[in-house]
Structure 1
Amino acid sequence: MSETSTGFKREIKLFDAVMLVAGSMIGSGIFIVSADIARSVGSPGYLLLVWALTGLMTLAGALSYGELTSLMPRAGGQYVYLRESYGPMVAFLYGWTLFLVIQSGTIAAVAVAFAKFTGVLVPWFSEDHILLDLGFLKLTTVQLLAISSIILLTLVNQQGVRNGKFIQNIFGSTKIIALFALIGFGLLLGTNAEVMELNFTDMWNAQTVSTEPVSGTPFRTPLQGWALMVGIGTAMIGSLFSSDAWNNIGFSGDEIVNPKRTIVLSMAIGTAVVTLLYILINVVYLTILPLEGYKAGADVMARGIQFASNDRVATAVAEVIGGSTATIAIAVLIMISTFGCNNGVILSAPRVYYTMAKDGLFFTNMAKLNKNAVPGVALTFQCVWACILCMSGKYGDLLDYVIFAVLLFYILTIAGIFILRRTMPDAPRPYKAIGYPVLPALYIAMASFICIILLIYKPAYSWPGLILVGVGIPVYYFFKNKFQKIAD
């Protein structure tokens, strides 16, 4: 295929971009992680505060990040911004971690979530239904469906960005409408005056909750001062990951119509809509289920939000509202949500690997576009690795390990605004970060605080991630020596 500049086709318009932002952000997290947050902070007020702070941080990041997208609206997004701010090694370490764990691990985790909730409708899909057992490796029907969904979405996106955006528009708009409908039905039909009095009378009595391993008896420890700040910081891990992928639209810069305007607007609209949805959904949770509960509780009300079965708070809420019928409806909603989320992630990330290969820092074949003007080889590599992670079952551990690294790369990227204003002062910036320098500094401060908390109090969530990133340094020199002359 002959290429003009990059060879990409500009097919993504504003609505498509908003659906990519919002659709990639909303996966399965909002239906699950509120349980862990409720155990970490132990009060309705602080549960809502965690989601509000997450929304503020995400919006601050998106509104700041927009300056970089308008300055360099090219394929590769964050990789390109890091390369121009810090040089190729830092950019490669980001791309390496993105491929190895962040995006591929997310694809695997979201695909497995899709398959698990499909099991609510079709019980044949179960983690207990083992198709193959080699001792060191097991294949369940859930893994089989997860892998099949990854392969299907990869094949769809191999056919061109128009196909990928069509899937995203359908599934993205459907789940947003369905979530607003869930909020409406919950507030109209599910509110419980006794639960509301219980949750909202004393909203700010923060306490962390753990359970005795044998009896399951909860231990509630009051949180004040620095302990409360630590509790909020660690609780935000889940909510931040549930709100992640807002920046993925930047990866497709060369495929976006009027990218200097569209990327900024889509991130602002998409993150605002998702933030509003997330806060309202948690309000619904608190009007239907008591926050406090017991792991050994006999029913959903006794278990509460804190100990909803398998942390599936949304499913517990549905059971209260409409029994088994509503539970099935929630399962379908989560299936739609996870399928659409994975389509957005699968579509976006290969543009980074394509750009890395163009720079001579990844496999040479990844720098090629197929006949449909998409990075077909990069899509295939991503598919294979995500499927391997599905088979291994280790994607969850890997994602835990890189939480710190993800935040670190966001900090470096937003800090790049300050660097590029100094090193590229005359470059055209159709959009400049709102509230500069305060808003970008606010994001950096909030993200840095969470990183410090992780380093001190959650070393299992920080040091392994740094090691994974560090392993990329010798890999960088290997790729540079092997492929850079070919790229040049």
Structure 2
Amino acid sequence: MKEERNGSAIATPFQQAPKNQTPRPLIRTIDAIALVIGIIVGAGIFRTPSIVAAHTGSAELFLCIWLLGGVISLVGALCYAELSTTFPNTGGDYHFLMRAFGNRFAFLFAWARLSIIQTGSIALLAYIVGDYVSQLYPIGAYSSALFAALVVITLTAINMLGVRFGTGTQNLLFAVEFLGILSVVLVGLFAHPSPERLSVLPLASENNTSIGLALVFVLLTFGGWNEAGYISAELKAGSRKMVWVLAISILATTMLYLLVNWAFLHALGIERIAASDAVGIDLMRVTFGEAGVFLIGILVVMATLTSINATIFTGARTNYAVGRDFKVLSGLGKWNLKTSSPINALMVQCVIALALIGLGAFTRDGFQSMVDFTAPVFWFFFLATGISLFVLRKREPEAVRPFRVPLYPLTPIIFCGACAYLLYSSLAYTGIGALVGVAVLALGMLFFFAIR
């Protein structure tokens, strides 16, 4: 079979989805922006500033690293904007890798996303909510896992009701999260904790300056903007608006991160930030006491719920795409026209995420282990997507490109270099978890050959 796209033909050895089971353009531009920012801005902004501060040592360098993270993310977003506007598809990265490297590599990515990247992220985020809620309402030894599972089931059910329910929930969560973060910024900039309260917070004894390591955590905090590629085919205004969705999302997130970190600096100072394990909690504790700790806990939960909902929404799109392309997995490729959602893909994603949550219930160090498990695989495929821009420029030069990444090839080279560095860093700082991730990838390739 041949697929015609923008005047070029490429070989496609997969099945064609029925027209009545394909996505419809129902997502508004504002919904897409809220979705992308919601994925990026999660609980990480309340944890990583202390790690970044410990590896910078000065307020000026601390803020510059966060700005640099936004610049690198914007460079990557420009690369994704060209791919998304030229080849709009619900599969996102999966579709770009399919066109550039073939169905085997794309299947491997879809397998990794289903079994490692996306479901692992959902489980980790759900555990953050479970841990916070179980502190307020403990219901037993496994209360964190039970609350985490309840979150995943509830948000999956909401997204199964339809795209309007999913995006509506996202907009509501995003609004609450934004107001909460804005309140933290105002507290940090305008409240003046007493010296007595500040004195109870420890000061960092020494700073081990490491710009590279600091940047790793900053870029991890910026992670998630690439999820925009999975909704490019569902934008009401057309895929060309994806450029604005990505640009506005990255710029807004960068400004928000700079404001939050400026507020932390103003209220606590670089030494106290570097010594903190939970800088947001420390800020609210020295300002409002234990009542402030409760409020920041609620904010962290809302921020995490926003990220979980958006991750569930976009993650199911890859599962749908691989089910659409591979006949033996056609159950995943069913698109419910009434709700405009991939119900089967959402259900399978939910089951795997629940299995990972169950695993975490019996291995309480599972949070860090799963970070090790997911990070190298994530950055490997991120790098591959950046390389696909070069491949598709050469392979399909006649394709209509509504947006071309500026300063080509310098811009994508910078992006690929950043991804390669983060891939190296994630392998250098992880242990057996990375090997387990590679083993799961190998299992995916064996599965592919088995189903051909």
Give TM-score scaled by structure 1 length: 0.81
* Post-superposition offset of 1:239: 2.6
- How far residue 406 of structure 1 moved from its aligned partner, in angstroms, is 1.3
Pairing 1:37–2:52 present: yes
Q: 2: CA distance between counterparts of 1:375 and 1:454?
A: 32
The verdict on how the C-alpha distance between 1:194 and 1:239 changes in structure 2, with shifts beyond 3 A counting, is farther
Partner of 2:72: 57
Q: Does 1:105 pair with 2:105? A: no
The code of the aligned residue for 1:305 comes to I
Tell me what 1:434 maps to. 406
One of 336, 348, 352 as aligned partner of 2:318? 352
The match for 2:352 is: 385
- Per-residue CA deviations over 1:105-142 (Å, capped at 9, x if unaligned) read 1111111112222345xx2237xx31xxxxxxxxx112
Shift in Å, 1:5: 5.6
Distance change in 2, residues 1:47/1:195 (3 Å): farther
Higher helix share: 2
Tell me how far 1:47 sits from its aligned partner.
3.2
- Paired with 1:468 and 1:217, the residues of 2 have a C-alpha distance of 42
Question: What SS does structure 2 have at the residue aligned with 1:305?
Answer: helix
Greater alpha carbon shift after TM alignment, 267-276 vs 149-158: 267-276
Q: How does 1:84-95 map to 2 (within 5 A)?
A: 84-95=99-110
Change (3 A) 1:101 1:457: closer
Are the equivalent residues in 2 in contact too, given 1:403–1:461 (CA < 8 A)?
no
Asked if 1:188 is matched to 2:190, the reply is: yes
- Equivalent-residue separation in structure 1 for 2:192 and 2:354 (angstroms): 40
Equivalence for 2:378 = 406
Distance 1:284 1:186 in 2: 4
The 2-side partners of 1:412 and 1:158 are apart by 31
Q: Distance in 1 between matches of 2:261 and 2:327?
A: 43
Tell me by how many angstroms 1:69 deviates: 0.2
How many Å separate the matches in 2 of 1:398 and 1:255? 31
Partner of 1:272: 251
Candidates 305, 308, 312, aligned match of 2:273: 305
Among residues 224, 243, 253, which one is paired with 2:232 in the alignment?
253
Amino acid at match of 1:412: A
Q: CA deviation at 1:455?
A: 4.2
- SS at structure 2 position matched to 1:402: helix
Q: Which residue of 2 aligns with 1:162?
A: 164
- SS of structure 2 residue aligned to 1:237: helix
Equivalent position amino acid for 1:399 in 2: V
Task: Give the CA deviation at 1:317.
Answer: 0.8
Displacement of 1:472: 2.3
Mapping of residues 1-20 of structure 1, within 5 Å: 4=19, 6-20=21-35
The residue aligned with 2:5 is: none
Question: Amino acid of the residue matched to residue 239 of structure 1?
Answer: V
Is 1:107–1:150's contact at 8 Å kept on the other side of the alignment? yes
Letter of the aligned partner of 1:89 in structure 2?
R
Q: 1:192 to 1:161 in 2, by over 3 A?
A: same
Residue in structure 2 matched with residue 422 of structure 1 by the alignment: 394
- 1:74 aligned residue (85, 89, 92): 89
Moved more, 150-159 or 449-458: 449-458
Tell me if structure 2 keeps the 8 A contact 1:103–1:349. Answer: yes
2: CA distance, partners of 1:88 / 1:3? 20
Which ranges in structure 1 are unaligned for 5 or more consecutive residues? 131-139, 197-215, 224-230, 293-303, 482-488
Cα distance in 2 between the residues matched to 1:57 and 1:460: 29
Contact 1:195 1:289 in 2 (8 A): no
Q: Deviations over 1:48-96 (max 9, x none)?
A: 3332232122111111110000011111101000110111122122111
Inter-partner Cα distance in structure 1 for 2:420 and 2:196? 40
Structure 2: gaps spanning 5 or more residues: 1-16, 361-365
How far the C-alpha of 1:437 sits from its partner, in A, is 1.8
RMSD: 2.7
Equivalent pairs counted in the alignment come to: 427
- Is contact 1:29-1:239 (8 Å) kept? no
Query: What percent of counterpart residues are identical?
Result: 27
Q: Within 2, Cα distance between the matches of 1:222 and 1:21? A: 33
Q: In the TM superposition, what whole-angstrom CA distance separates every residue of 1:284-330 from its partner, at most 9, and x where no partner exists?
A: 112222433xxxxxxxxxxx32342xx22111111122222222221
Change in CA separation of 1:99 and 1:399 when aligned onto 2, cut-off 3 Å:
farther
Between 330-339 and 232-241, the greater mean CA deviation after superposition: 232-241
Q: 1:188 to 1:143 in 2, by over 3 A?
A: same
The runs of at least 4 aligned residues of structure 1 exceeding 6 Å deviation read 191-196, 216-219
Quote the offset at 1:192 in angstroms: 8.1
Shift of 1:260: 1.8
